[in-house]
Amino acid sequence: MVNPDLLEILRCPACVREKEGHLKLVKDSWLICDDCGRKYPIVEDIPVMLISEGDKWQQTPEACLPIPPPHPE
C-alpha cells in the first residue's frame, strides 16, 4: 500500500503549474491524471512521478495497464 497521506498531496508534475493535476489511484498500481491522462506507475509502493514515465503510458487505455507496473528503465 502507498501511504494515503502521500497520495493526498501528490499531483501530476506535468499539470500542476496550470491545472489541478489531480491523480486517480487505480488498483494500487497506477496514478492517472484527471487533466492530461498521463499514467504514473507505483513500483514497490513508490509512485514514480516522472513526466517521461507519464508520457510513456499516456495513450494506454486504463484497462490495458500492466499490473504490476514494470520497473522504469
Binding positions for Zn ion, rule: CB under 5 A? 12, 14-15, 21, 33, 35-36, 38
Between 15 and 42, name the residue whose CB sits nearer to Zn ion.
Answer: 15
Is-contact 8 46, C-beta < 8 A? no
Between 15 and 69, name the residue whose CB sits nearer to Zn ion.
Answer: 15
Scan for cell 493526498, then name that residue: 8
Between 10 and 15, name the residue whose CB sits nearer to Zn ion.
Answer: 15
Residue 33, amino acid: C
DSSP 52: H
